[in-house]
């Protein structure tokens, strides 16, 4: 599998430069942490990579295939999936139906989609809630459903926007276990945004740090963690949890 | 293929329709037979609307327009040749000599409505929310205007008469049961499932690979097919009609039935038709009785419509998803059985 690549990506919102010349590469089977203070452009980068916002400059590509300017649907079919920071569920559908949607979206027949979804839901520890409507789930359960749903599309790359937000310690712990296995089990390339540095440090070998829409550091997690620019960005923004 | 509890839903809903129809036949009262036949026709129309509106979450005003396409198509194809000279003197020669059986006309009426939908609505399916609702209303106006002015084929604003009867209660009930099955199968199909996901969250569904305009378009075609068949059934039931009967009042009744019952479920569509028809008919006879008894100085009018409007407002305010918001009836029974001793 070819790497997923963002090269010199710039995104602008009515004059505000949310991303400025950001480049990032995600390889198959790797876990990359994308961190940075609030408003630094992490979600915007994921939005740009999945076609949710247009880019003002730069290219997004998956091997030879250029993804820039393609719709979210086309990018999903190319093998890039994501979850949403705000959480997006199909409230009136059951957990099973929620998760099966991704497989159906990629063209799987109903029977296959339901089987695949059932297996994933069990794997995520929600087997007994298969038939509950998504709207009745707790916050942490919804997050798990959303990740399971993304996986049901059998993507090559998965971009997770704050998967542990709102989870308690126990839930975070089991999430870390599941996420750690994904690259090995499925050859999946994983990008994780999170403010929980404990989670990031345990899962990611490599980190990419944004501040005010620019890359301020990237590379090995230990080097990045001790980088003065990173410490400065976090302390300067007053982001206590980082 | 459907899960077992969906078959249970089908058996229960179909059973209710059979029960109502058999009861009416046994009583044999002519008014009751008419009311019940009408109920079955409404069922076809409302379930047809449920297929699009319930799964896509987009309110469509155009439904009665497609009902009209079916009604007029079947009428033109089935009016006896010797009647046509009078009913439609300027009809095109290739249609003037056509005389089909009502059931054939009904099938072709449905197919024509589906074809018109397939050719006309794709661009509208890109729109969501208010824009989608408004354009569906514009489409309704277009269809209505064509029916109103295409005099050679529809007799224009005047009543079109001479349509052969052919809609019996067993036929209408049979079509209604088939509509229930079609709606349940559609809901559980790949298209139906993806469409329902897009109804709940459009952005998430698209990011999972769903081609939303195409899904909506497919649902709309099936919905128009049932609207057309329902319209043709209606035409062969009342045997003469004008475009005025295919306008806002009819639209309001069909919408109210679906909204009150619950657009997201087929059970809701069936329940809505039953409840609204029952209250409509009892109010109408009450209204008639009051007027006959000369209790009031002026005749009482509009009570049924007012009640329906208030009921619709009340449901939307108190229970926005309708009486049956998200689960089909089979779910409750199956769950109870599965948990039984
Ligand atoms: N759709 C939009 N329209 C206008 N401005 C936007 C839009 N989306 C993001 N922004 C702005 O772009 C900047 C980057 O936002 P973004 O959501 O990418 O930050 P983030 O790093 O994900 O922050 P957080 O950690 O709080 O999630 C912010 O200033 C934000 O207000
Ligand atoms: Mg964010």
Neighbouring C-beta atoms of residue A21, cutoff 10 Å: 14
- Contact between A107 and B196 using a beta-carbon 8 Å cutoff: no
CA distances from B138 to B62, B145, B231, B304 (A): 8, 10, 20, 27
Q: How many residues does chain A have?
A: 242
Give distance in angstroms: CA of A34 to centre of ligand 2: 10
Nearest to B21 by CA among B226, B166, B237, B174: B174
Identify the pLDDT of residue A241.
Answer: 47
Mean pLDDT in residue range A166-193:
93
The 3-state secondary structure of chain B reads CCCHHHHHHHHHHHHHHHHHHHHHHHHCCHHHHHHHHHHHHHHHHHHHHHHHHHHHCCCCCCHHHHHHHHHHHHHHHHCCHHHHHHHCCCCCHHHHCCCCCHHHHHHHHHHHHHHHHHHHCHHHHHCCHHHHHHHHHHHHHHHHHHHHHCHHHHCCCCCECCCCCCCCHHHHHHHHHHHHHHHHHHHHCHHHHHHHHHHHCHHHHHHCCCCHHHHHHHHHHHHHHHHHHHHHHHHHHHCCECHHHHCHHHHHHHHHHHHHHCCCCHHHHHHHHHHHHHHHHHHHHHHHHHHHCCCCCCCCCCHHHHHHHHHHHHHHHHCCCCCCCCCCHHHHHHHHHHHCC
Q: How confident is the model at residue A234 (pLDDT cuts 50, 70, 90)?
A: confident
Q: B88-145: per-residue pLDDT in tens?
A: 999 999 999 999 999 999 999 999 999 999 999 999 999 999 999 999 999 999 999 9
Architecture of domain A1-79+160-242 in this structure: 3-Layer(aba) Sandwich (3.40)
Packing angle of the helix pair A95-105, B190-200 (nearest 10 deg) = 110
- Establish whether this prediction's ipTM goes over 0.90: yes
* Distance separating alpha carbons of residues A200 and A83, to the nearest angstrom: 17
Mean pLDDT in residue range A169-195:
93
Nearest CA to ligand 1 atom 24: A38
Please tell me the least confidently modeled range out of A75-84, A92-101, B142-151, B296-305.
Answer: B296-305
Pairwise pLDDT comparison (B300 vs A122), residue with the higher score: A122
Contact B235, B241 (CB under 8 A): yes
Contact B14, B337 (CB under 8 A): no
Identify the pLDDT of residue A236.
Answer: 66
Nearest to A94 by CA among B8, B262, B188: B188
Identify the pLDDT of residue A166.
Answer: 86
Q: Choose the mutation target among A73, A112, A131 for the interface with B, i.e. most B CBs under 10 Å.
A: A73
Indicate if the pLDDT at residue A55 is higher than 50.
yes
Please tell me the least confidently modeled range out of A168-182, A192-206, B138-152, B293-307.
Answer: B293-307
Nearest CA to ligand 1 atom 31: A39
* Distance separating alpha carbons of residues B291 and B29, to the nearest angstrom: 23
List, in order, residues 6 or more apart from A238 with CB less than 8 Å away: none
Question: Domain segments of chain B: what residues?
Answer: 9-247
Identify the pLDDT of residue B158.
Answer: 97
Pairwise pLDDT comparison (B334 vs A50), residue with the higher score: A50
Identify the pLDDT of residue A1.
Answer: 82
Which residue ranges of chain B lie beneath pLDDT 50?
Answer: 340-341
Question: Domain segments of chain A: what residues?
Answer: 1-79+160-242, 90-154
Indicate if the pLDDT at residue A13 is higher than 70.
yes
Indicate if the pLDDT at residue A242 is higher than 90.
no
Neighbouring C-beta atoms of residue B15, cutoff 10 Å: 11
Mean pLDDT in residue range A120-147:
94
Which of A6, A11, A33, A41 for mutating ligand 1's site (highest number of atoms within 8 Å of CB)? A41
Ligand nearest to the CA of A38: 1
- Contact between B1 and A93 using a beta-carbon 8 Å cutoff: no
- Contact between A113 and B190 using a beta-carbon 8 Å cutoff: yes
Mean pLDDT of chain A: 94
* Distance separating alpha carbons of residues B70 and B241, to the nearest angstrom: 13
Q: Is the CB of A41 under 6 A from ligand 1?
A: yes
Chain A contact present for B337, CB below 8 A? no
Return the structure tokens found at A214. Answer: 């620019």
- Contact between A102 and B209 using a beta-carbon 8 Å cutoff: yes
Q: Is the CB of A85 under 6 A from ligand 1?
A: yes
């Amino acid at each position: 599998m070819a790497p997923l690549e963002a090269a010199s990506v710039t995104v602008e919102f009515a004059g505000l430069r949310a991303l400025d010349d950001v480049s990032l590469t995600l390889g198959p089977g790797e876990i990359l942490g994308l961190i940075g203070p609030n408003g630094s452009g992490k979600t915007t980068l994921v939005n740009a990579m999945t076609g949710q916002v247009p880019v003002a400059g730069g290219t997004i590509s998956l091997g030879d295939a250029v993804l820039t300017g393609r719709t979210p649907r086309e990018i999903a079919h190319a093998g890039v999936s994501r979850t949403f920071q705000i959480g997006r569920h199909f409230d009136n559908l059951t957990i099973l139906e929620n998760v099966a949607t991704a497989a159906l979206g990629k063209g799987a027949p109903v029977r296959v989609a339901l089987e695949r979804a059932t297996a994933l839901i069990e794997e995520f520890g929600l087997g007994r809630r298969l038939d509950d409507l998504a709207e009745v789930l707790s916050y942490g359960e919804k997050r798990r459903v959303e990740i399971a749903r993304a996986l049901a599309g059998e993507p090559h790359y998965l971009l997770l926007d704050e998967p542990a937000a709102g989870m308690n310690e126990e839930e975070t712990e089991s999430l870390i276990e599941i996420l750690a296995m994904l690259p090995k089990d499925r050859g999946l390339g994983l990008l994780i945004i999170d403010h929980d540095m404990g989670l990031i440090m345990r899962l990611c070998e490599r980190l990419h740090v944004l501040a005010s829409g620019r890359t301020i550091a990237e590379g090995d997690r230990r080097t990045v963690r001790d980088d003065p620019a990173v410490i400065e960005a976090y302390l300067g923004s007053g982001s206590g949890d980082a | 293929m459907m899960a077992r509890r969906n078959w249970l839903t089908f058996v229960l809903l179909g059973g209710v329709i059979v029960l109502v129809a058999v009861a009416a036949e046994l009583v044999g009262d002519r008014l009751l037979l008419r009311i019940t036949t009408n109920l079955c026709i409404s069922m076809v129309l409302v379930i047809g609307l449920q297929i699009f509106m319930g799964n896509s979450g987009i309110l469509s005003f155009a439904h009665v327009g497609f009902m009209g396409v079916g009604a007029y198509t079947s009428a033109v194809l089935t009016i006896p040749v010797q009647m046509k000279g009078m009913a439609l003197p300027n009809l095109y020669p290739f249609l003037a000599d056509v005389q089909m059986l009502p059931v054939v006309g009904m099938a072709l009426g449905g197919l024509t409505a589906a074809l018109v939908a397939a050719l006309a609505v794709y661009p509208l399916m890109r729109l969501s929310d208010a824009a989608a609702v408004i354009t569906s209303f514009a489409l309704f106006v277009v269809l209505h205007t064509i029916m109103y002015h295409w005099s050679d084929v529809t007799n224009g604003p005047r009543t079109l008469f001479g349509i052969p009867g052919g809609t019996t209660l067993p036929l209408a009930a049979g079509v209604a049961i088939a509509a229930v099955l079609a709606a349940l199968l559609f809901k559980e199909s790949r298209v139906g499932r993806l469409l329902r996901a897009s109804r709940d969250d459009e952005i998430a569904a698209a990011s999972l690979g769903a081609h939303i305009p195409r899904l909506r378009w497919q649902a709309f075609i099936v919905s128009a097919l049932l609207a057309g068949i329902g319209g043709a059934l209606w035409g062969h039931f009342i045997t003469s009609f004008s475009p005025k009967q295919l306008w806002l009042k009819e639209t309001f009744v069909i919408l109210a039935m679906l909204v009150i019952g619950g657009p997201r479920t087929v059970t809701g569509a069936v329940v809505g038709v039953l409840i609204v028809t029952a209250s409509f008919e009892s109010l109408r006879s009450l209204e008639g009785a009051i007027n006959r008894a000369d209790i009031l100085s002026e005749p009482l009018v509009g009570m049924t419509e007012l009640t329906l409007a208030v009921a619709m407002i009340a449901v939307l305010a108190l229970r926005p998803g309708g009486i049956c918001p998200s689960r089909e009836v089979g779910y409750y029974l199956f769950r109870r059985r599965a948990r039984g001793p």
